[in-house]
Amino acid sequence: MKESIVIKNFGPIKEIEIKDIRPLTVFIGESGSGKSTIMKVVVLFRWIYKMLNIRSYLKHANISQSPFNFNFKSYLKNNGLTDFVKNNTEIIYQKGKTTSL
């Protein structure tokens, strides 16, 4: 399933688009250029994608209360990313036909 991401104005990243994230993706760059930040954002959105799929499955199985709780702000805080968010931050993640903004 094709996976892509666009990140704008997030931490050290001004703008990057990765059109095809593969199971083995290697980032090469100088220290502090945002390689780890990109991976943290990809991991976050993969997790959100999985939670959305699980919630959809539970809803279709008539299970009304999800056992999962997700707080975006606490995830950012726990991973040292709180200060990376700016007023004009934009992140678009796409996996298959699902897009998360």
Domains: count for the chain = 1
What is the per-residue pLDDT for 51? 80
Question: What separation in angstroms does the CA of 44 have from each of 7, 38, 51, 91, 93?
Answer: 13, 10, 11, 11, 10
DSSP string of 54-69?
A: HHHHHHHTT--S-S--
pLDDT tens track for 77-101: 887 888 999 999 999 999 887 666 6
Mean pLDDT for all residues in the chain: 85
pLDDT at 7 over 80: yes
pTM of the full predicted structure? 0.78
Neighbouring-strand partners of residue 100: 93
Domain extent for 57: 3-100
